[in-house]
Each structure stands twice: as C-alpha cells, then as structure tokens.
Amino acid sequence: MKAAVLHEVNKPLVIEDVSLQKPGPREVLIRTAVAGLCHSDLHFMEGLYPHPLPAVLGHESAGVVEQVGSDVTYVKPGDHVVTCLSVFCGTCDNCTTGRPVLCTDTSVKMLPGASNRLSWARSEKLNQFLNLSSFAEQMLVHENAIVKIRKDMPLELAALIGCGVVTGYGAVVNTAKVAPGESVVVIGCGGVGMAAINGAQIAGAGRIIAVDTNPAKLQLATKLGATDIVDPRNGDVVQQVRDLTNGGVHHSFEVLGRKETAEQAFAMLAPGGTATIVGMIPFGQKIELHGFDFLRERKIQGSSMGSNHFRVDMPRLIEFYMRGKLHLEDWISAKLKLSEINEGFAAMKAGKTVRSVIMFDA
Ligand code: PAD
Ligand code: ZN
C-alpha cells in the first residue's frame, strides 16, 4: 500500500510502498477513507517536536474495518470507524479515574519508536506515528484507538472529529468546563480553534471572541458562533479583549502553539479566569507569566486532545452535526489526493486553509 513518509525534518513527505503486519489479537486493520492534515503533523515535519524517523505521519482519520484480531469483539469488518490517538488501556489509574487521554499503559499506548506494525522493503525501521499513521491507505491500530460510528455519517466529516474537532470542542467542554454565559476568547482559528468556537456556542458561552490574523477565518468564526472578532494587526490583542469584556475574560484558549500567544491568553483573563493552552508550544520553549496575576486566582492549564472520552464524545459530536449544531462542512477547505499532501501542508503553513483532507478513493 501507499503511504506518505517523513524521512527528514524540513523535507517533503515521500509517497512510498509500505506494508502492515497481520492484526494481532487486539488489533484492527482499517481501510483509510479520509485523513485530515493537522498542524501537529506540521510541527513534527518542521522538527519543533521530536519523533523517530522515518515515520508515516497522520493522526486524524476515518475508515472502514477490514480485518480484526482474534480477541476483538468491539468491531467487525465493514464497520465505519473514527481513529483517535488517545488510545486507552481502560485499567491504569488514569483510565479508571476518568482521564483516559493520560493512559500510562505503554503496551497499549506505545511510546514513539516502539511499534513494529509498519514495514517496507528497506532494512531501516519505519515508525508508526501516535499509534495511528493515517497518511496511508491502511492502518493497523489497537482496538481502543477507534470508535464505531453510524454509517450515514460522511467519512470526510467524521475524520475531522478524530483530532481537530474533538480537541477544540473538548478543550472548552471537558477541560475548561465553560458554563453558560461565561466569556470565551479563542486565539488562532484554524481547524482546532474553529471547533473551540463552535464548542463554546454549543456550551452556551456568552461573549465568544475570535482572534486570528486572517480575515477569512474571522468571518467563518462568526458563522460558527463568534460574537466578536479581534485582528492582532489592529493593535495589542490583550487590550482589544479587555476593551470588549470590561476588563478581562473568564476563559481564554490558545490554539496556535506560540509563546507570545500563550502569554496573551493568560494576560487577558479577568480575576478568577482560566487560560487553557491547546497549541503545541515548541518543545523546550518556556513561557513567562506575571506572578502577581495568581493572587487574583487566575489559572493556566494544558489540554490534551480535548481531555476526551472519545468513545462517548465522538458519537455525540456526530449527533450535534446531524442536528445542525456542529458545522463540519465549513471546515473543509480542500480535498486532496495522497500525492498532493505536500501542497496541503504548504497551504496550511501559509494560513490559507481551515482543514485539508486526503480522500483515499480519489
Ligand atoms: P492551523 O494552522 O489550522 O491554525 C492556526 C491559526 O492561527 C490560523 O488560522 C492562523 O491564521 C492563525 N494565526 C497565525 N498567527 C496568529 C496570531 N499571531 N494570532 C492569532 N492567530 C494567528 O492549526 P490547527 O488548528 O491545526 O492547530 C492549532 C494548534 O493546536 C497547533 O499548535 C496544533 O499542534 C495544536 C493541537 N493540539 C492538540 C492537543 O491535543 N493539545 C491537538 C491537535 C492540535
Ligand atoms: Zn491533530
């Protein structure tokens, strides 16, 4: 089968012939239908985060089950599934206390470089990425890395839920637990930020302020629920937000992955407010905060994949879509072939797209 391989950082992905093992007892072989391009893939391509290479990237996908291992009862061939990198064991302390994204069982949630599922004609090891590797015509995953979905859900929209949508929505609903009427700022309105805005609207937030440097993104944000927009090119973002909110917001979400914007997210909080950092700040980089702000009970926290319980959250997100509350069609900027994947990442880097998706049958 064909897969897009990252050989070296800051080099284009190369389409290669690769193979997968037969499913082990708890593994599922999936025919990939759609894979979304997420900025997290780009962070690894640019070397801002380390990963053993060569590797098949991709972690936002939907597909159809082809084959299951001897112990798998959850799905059968023909079932439609969405994948999630938050693979869980179900029995470690974090899983059993309701935080499966923090699963610590490395035999299920394998560490980078540990999986031997992928192979190719060369002697060099080919690495699986985040237990998924979605930029490939097929995926071999643990059964606890997938959720079964209804078959009338379009797979290209379902794929978006696999990372971007569950991350943005979950940051608002699961991590920050935004209450009805509270004010929200989302800094960075790409695929993940748009989901945070749409999630804030579903949660019943009051003011929802979208911050982005791209006017087209701000316009779409308004359609998804933003009540106000802020363009950083019009002046200090923190001051603009303070002016709009009479002194600060209850919740800010950094959905970009930069030091300056993480610091802005904290600085724009009202007393008692919470900043939630969703973006992947380059590995090793530190952020600076005013110590005094903690005396007014301002908080800052991380959010991994929207603190999801994806077997519950993803089918609910699909129901929101079916009821017209989650505007997934608006996310897709381009449908690409696997061979066009580098053009897709170039458009992301230029800030042009909300989400590009690879359509494997195209
Ligand atoms: P994206 O590239 O689609 O969106 C980034 C957006 O930021 C674009 O709309 C830009 O126009 C906008 N932007 C650029 N500069 C500024 C600025 N100075 N101020 C405001 N906006 C600006 O990215 P994405 O939505 O795919 O991902 C966003 C981040 O979320 C990224 O760091 C990614 O790695 C991270 C992420 N985290 C998790 C997690 O579990 N924490 C999961 C998925 C993605
Ligand atoms: Zn992602």
Question: Which ligand is located closest to the Cα atom of residue 351?
Answer: 1
- In a domain? residue 215: yes
The residue whose CA has the least distance to atom 8 of ligand 1 is 190
Q: Is residue 168 part of a domain?
A: no
Kindly list the catalytic residues: 38, 40, 43, 59, 163
* 160 Cα–ligand 1 center, Å: 15
Atom in ligand 1 nearest the alpha carbon of residue 355: 3
The mean predicted confidence, pLDDT, of the chain is 97
Q: Is the pLDDT of residue 322 over 90?
A: yes
- Residues 259 and 318 placed together within one structural domain of the fold: no
In angstroms, the CA 119 to CA 126 distance is 6
pLDDT value, residue 87: 98
| Atom number, ligand 1, closest to the C-alpha of residue 191 | 25
Band of residue 291 on the pLDDT scale cut at 50, 70, 90? very high
pLDDT tens digits along 189-216: 999 999 999 999 999 999 999 999 999 9
Asked if 256 and 183 sit in the same domain, the reply is: yes
Query: Does 327 share its domain with 298?
Result: no
User: Whole-model pTM?
Assistant: 0.97
* Per-residue pLDDT tens digits for 55-78: 999 999 999 999 999 999 999 999
The pairing of strands 269-277 and 299-302 is parallel
Using alpha carbons, list the distances in angstroms from residue 156 to 80, 122, 125, 134, 244: 12, 33, 31, 13, 37
Residues 86 and 169: their CA atoms lie apart, in Å, by: 15
Q: Is residue 172 part of a domain?
A: no
Residues 13 and 153 in one domain: yes
Q: What percent of the chain has pLDDT over 70?
A: 100
Whether residues 190 and 135 fall in one domain: no
Confidence of residue 362 (pLDDT cuts 50, 70, 90): low
The mean pLDDT of 109-119, rounded to a whole number, is: 97
Same domain flag for 210 and 274: yes
Per the structure block, which two tokens stand in for 119?
A: 């192979």
Show the DSSP H helices in 283-330 as ranges. Answer: 310-322
Residue 78 in domain: yes
Domain at 117, CATH number: 3.90.180.10
Considering the domain architecture, whether residues 143 and 44 belong to the same structural domain is answered as yes
* One domain for residues 144 and 32: yes
Q: What is the pLDDT of residue 316?
A: 98
Torsion sign (Cα): 152, 335, 148, 321: negative
Domain contains 325: yes
Give the binding-site residues of ligand 1, using a 6 Å CB cut-off: 38-40, 43, 163-164, 167, 187-193, 211-214, 217, 232, 255-257, 261, 278-280, 303-305, 348, 351
Q: 146 with 228, same domain?
A: no
The enclosing domain of 262 has a CATH number of 3.40.50.720
| Residue 324 included in any domain | yes
- Residue 288 burial (CB < 10 Å; 0-12/13-18/19+)? exposed
Q: Which of 109, 212, 224, 310 to mutate to test the pocket of ligand 1 (most atoms within 8 A of CB)?
A: 212
Give me ligand 1 centre to Cα 74, in Å.
Answer: 34
Residues 235 and 215 in one domain: yes
Ligand nearest to the CA of 36: 2
Q: Is the pLDDT of residue 161 over 70?
A: yes
Among 192, 238, 261, 355, name the best residue to mutate to test ligand 1's pocket (greatest count of ligand atoms within 8 A of Cβ): 192
Pair (27, 154) in one structural domain: yes
- Do 118 and 8 have their domain in common? yes
Q: Is residue 342 part of a domain?
A: yes
Instruction: Give the ligand with the smallest distance to the CA of 129.
Output: 2
Mean pLDDT of 168-183: 98
Could you tell me the pLDDT band of residue 361, with boundaries at 50, 70 and 90? confident
- As for how many domains the chain has, the answer is 2
pLDDT mean over 329-338? 96
In a domain, 170, yes or no: no
Between the CA of 271 and the centroid of ligand 2 the distance, in Å, is 31
Provide the domain limits for residue 104.
2-163+307-359
Q: Which of 85, 58, 153 is nearest to 356 (CA)?
A: 58
